[in-house]
Chains A and B, each alone.
Chain A
């Protein structure tokens, strides 16, 4: 196994990944301390509507109802991160479990699970998410569920591939011979060894989930009681010719966060799969 300092050294070689980590750290701090920085609810109409950035008491300006954009971004960070992490968690749970079963048992189980996975893969992600949220009425829970449901199939295929190849390795054969139960083999032997690609794709999935949530909110399918970046862009898009700042800053927040998570994913890939990294560069 690599040492942790080796891991960091490999990660830090990718300057973009370090930058991404910094930005995400800022976003996390913003999310954690949004209640301290902006104690008022982000929905509170604290100021005159349509104030441009750098106005008195409104660093990033106010929106059409006089709500503080900066407060919206801080509180929106919490929503975005929460949705990103929880829905990725749920997608991992579904995807990895199904993939592991398929890859480990093979045969009929594999066929059944893979056909089921393909069923989901044939439907465009975003369309399915819109339909699910519309059916179950928009709320944080239904959005997380919808994002998880459309995101797990690639994870299942990835996990299946890993399991399929590790299943025939000697250490697994040895574990089988020593009479370990299937569950133990899956969880204690194969899973830890297949984690690195799963971690890399999970970090990318957080980015995709944030983007999906933003898109849903943009379309008005967000949780109406939670401030989110996508909602802010969606609500401000109609006045973009009069007030650019209302959609610009939340848009920038989405861009930076999603970009940073992608950079982190790349850095993790470099660090966890050093043999693959930098190929052809």
Chain B
């Protein structure tokens, strides 16, 4: 299943302005700005689409998109992140980082209770970060493996000591990256088969009431939530609606109040934008910030030659892809970094379509057109994530034909695609990955040579290897000085853009539709995966 500069960059400033002169700024939609109403009302039910239905809601064990959206209201992490990806308090009320970048000290809220009434303390944090997550959560395992020690001086303080500086560490505490798991239910058990997995117990503002498989997941207000008066809503229903047309219709008719990620197909977005009862935004995906690309297997000739990859880059019109295939959702990617990811260098100019340059590069390689105008034949296996990706495959086939590269399209299903790509059994495919806010967390993994691991999806499956890139990513990841770090990330972007290890397509955007009745919905960089503690219903 198929992602960017944000037009809402200045929203924080805009909402400050709104506070000062509320009467003059009716254009700031309230669903993405802090509450302006004097007294948000308690009560109300929100209906949200969830698609596909999550396999489980234990967020430590499963981090698929739909699981995150639902379980983000049940579980919490120590931190959350604003739209610039700077940390905000969640279960941790404050934190400090030592000057050498080695010691991270978190102070926890003191009156937090698990949904079963037991108190939440530093013991739970220790259990989650040293035992539970390292065993079952690969991203968390990699992050916490950088710690020399994790200790709890008292019930409400946790200290992480790193082996070497890793400034990206501050972005490792979001709810899906490191959800807090109750020690009293899991300590000493078989985590994956614990019966408690079916009845998730978290600290979040909503509790699981009922889950009717194939129909809905019902969350109710956590009456003992540690922030007095919150949350405002009484119920959240997540409705399972497998058919795309039915999802659009449910939103249009007001049966559901929110859709996110891929719920609404790009071709329906323009139509739904016109629906008066709905607000539309592409904000709230800054933390995941995906970039899509054509993934190229460097083990296959002539794909190992960077001139060939550049020729592909020049042969395609990425604005057309954005406008006609994604119906305007997204921005042309200049290179490996999403523009909302830390370290992004805005001075990099994206490749523009230039058929002559593409042909010249192929000529230079000695690939002359044969009688049929074909210089080389490659196999393209589009991601089996729905028809938008299929259209992209068809578009690429025609574009590459113009420069003499014949493309044979291959079909596959999701399991087959993962199997073939992770085992390097492909020539070209389409792909995208989440960047998790920091290049050390979500970008370097695609390009560094020590992440060429057969059988592992979303690793360096291309087999790209450049010692300079390895060195720069490694050095930048442990550089404490922001200016030096930026210089290294800028350099690595330039090297990568020249090497074209993959052909970047778009900074993808996901459409979020929210009923205008609800306020404070998209407030941070993790958007729809937030706790929704401060979402409230306008008085009718």
Contact = CB atoms under 8 A, between A and B. Distances in A.
A243 to B, nearest CB: 10
A199 to B, nearest CB: 35
Contacts of A49: 324
A65 B408 contact: no
Which secondary structure dominates chain B's binding surface? helix
Contacts of A238: 244, 265, 267-268, 387
Interface string B377-414: 00000000001001101110110010000001111110
Contact of B390 (A45, A220, A225, A239): A220
A242 B265 CA distance: 14
A43 B411 contact: no
B539 interface: no
Interface residues of B, number: 22
A64 interface: yes
A23 interface: no
Interface residues of A, number: 21
Nearest to A48: B324
A137 interface: yes
Contacts of A41: 398, 401
A226 to B, nearest CB: 10
A137 B394 contact: no
Given A224-B411, A225-B408, A241 B271 contact: yes
A235 B391 contact: yes
Given A45-B395, A235-B387, A224 B410 contact: yes
A40 to B, nearest CB: 10
A45 B411 contact: no
B17 to A, nearest CB: 37
A64 B271 contact: no
Given A43-B397, A241-B271, A137 B324 contact: no
B311 interface: no
A134 B409 CA distance: 15
A181 to B, nearest CB: 47
Most buried by B among A41, A64, A239: A64
A20 interface: no
Nearest to A235: B387
Contacts of B410: 137, 224
Contacts of A45: 395, 398
Interface of B: 244, 265, 267-268, 271, 324-325, 387, 390-391, 393-395, 397-398, 401, 408-413
Interface of A: 41, 43-45, 49, 64-66, 134, 137-138, 220-221, 224-225, 234-235, 238-239, 241-242
9 contacts: A43-B398, A64-B324, A64-B325, A64-B391, A65-B395, A137-B410, A220-B411, A234-B387, A242-B271
Closest 10 A/B residue pairs (Cβ): A224-B409, A138-B411, A49-B324, A238-B267, A224-B411, A239-B267, A43-B398, A225-B409, A45-B398, A137-B411
